[in-house]
Amino acid sequence: MGCTYSVYGLGRKKKLSIPEVVVFVPSMRIPAQCDLQRALKGLIPRDLIDRLTCLRNRIALVAEDTGGSAITELRQALEEYLAILIGLTKKENGVEDSVEFKWKNLEDDRQETSVANAWFELLSVIHMMAMLTLSEADSLMIPKDYSGSGFRVVSTDCKRDAVDLLLKAAGYLEFCVRNVLSRIPAEIKKSWSKDLQEGVLEAISIQALGQGTEIQLGLAVESQKATLSVKRRLACEQLIYFSQAYQCLSGCDLNQGYGKKHMWFIKWKFLESKAAAYYYHGLVLDKGNEPSSHVSAVCCFLAAQELLVESKKACITFCLAAPVTRAPPLWGVMKHLNQKIPEVASRKSQMYGYLLEQEKALQSLPELPDFQLSLRPDDYELPAIDSAWDSEKWENQSQPLKEHLKDCEEEIETE
């Protein structure tokens, strides 16, 4: 499925593969080792501590062993962990700041964040669920086999499932921005991973909607029932999404992690969607009877051609930005437009060349129509809190807080 390069070292052959990217997934963050037992001893029941520790360790081990590819198993463990974790965020339980939670970058252990706040842990869990969902959408858009014709085939069902996953991921991230970030003190936000900046989370959420629209536009191009107006609308909506995502990222610190690569991905998709929008807008204008309509249409086609060239340059820059990735073979609407835009731009400018000479005053790029956006993030709600947090079940703790503090003092003296 992908190109591989062989590197020889110390007499041994090592194969390195460069991953292909259809749906962009920023670096995944996973739990790092932290001592829940010691931090929560005597504050909550032992069985709750054991379950939290077991699930957190399981998530970390599975993620590291599989590189995050065991999506179903990880999602199940994260949802189970989340139901218990919610209890730590409740003020009445008095343990919101008792644990120093640690997370690290899956690809780079050196990028570790440590924060003593249960809401930070909850944010990190939902963020990981979003990244896993984006990763699953990406895998659906990269088929494991090829058709007999030598071209890759992604089924319509896979594309629709990928759109559903993108909306789900957008919902996770929108929930983080609207319902979690505000609960975390500003001084804590200054010290944590750049991947959790509000603008970055918003950009990924909006970008997921843009990619969902891109897939829908590809399906419309393949459908004989989709009208030109529908295609233009989808192209313009896709452009709006990526414009919004770019605005969100532009105010963020992108000097760490995947920041610069993320920005180049959005620039690439922005240029592609703008090329598509002008192409389809040009086709609509060209149906007019007035000479000015044909002149405006040609201006749109020529603009689309220039944007297409720029988008290819942005794609190369994105692929080469660390960590190096590969762009997929042309698919969806861009597979169609890479052939159509140069062809139509050349033919129409020759056809209406005399009008371009006569109506030089009209040679200005028309504005694209504005449409109300169709896709919205899925609504996400936290799961019900685990029944083990029922106050009646753990009101009489086996080890009172005083004993816990005494034990901690003894441990310090021993050390």
Contact 150, 191 (CB under 8 A): no
CATH number at 197-371: 1.25.40.280
Q: Among the residues of 141-258, which ranges form H helices?
A: 156-175, 186-191, 198-222, 228-250
Distance CA 129, CA 117 (A): 19
Mean pLDDT of all residues belonging to the chain: 87
Distance CA 377, CA 294 (A): 38
CATH 1.25.40.280 positions along the chain are: 21-143+153-178, 197-371
Distance CA 309, CA 331 (A): 17
Q: What mean pLDDT comes out for the span 29-47? A: 91
Least confident of 102-111, 264-273, 360-369, 381-390: 360-369
End-to-end CA distance of the chain: 55
Contact 95, 40 (CB under 8 A): yes
Contact 337, 279 (CB under 8 A): yes
Q: Is 247 exposed, middle or buried (0-12, 13-18, 19+ CB in 10 A)?
A: middle
Q: What mean pLDDT comes out for the span 55-82? A: 95
Contact 87, 81 (CB under 8 A): no
Q: Tens digits of per-residue pLDDT, 232-291?
A: 999 999 999 999 999 999 988 887 768 899 999 999 999 999 999 999 999 999 998 887
pLDDT of res. 354: 72
Q: Which CATH class is domain 21-143+153-178?
A: mainly alpha
Radius of gyration of the chain (CA): 26
Distance CA 202, CA 194 (A): 13
Torsion angles phi and psi, residue 31, rounded to 5: -65, 140
Q: Per-residue confidence at 88, pLDDT binned at 50, 70, 90?
A: very high
- Whether the model clears a pTM of 0.85, i.e. scores above it, the answer is yes
Torsion angles phi and psi, residue 171, rounded to 5: -65, -40
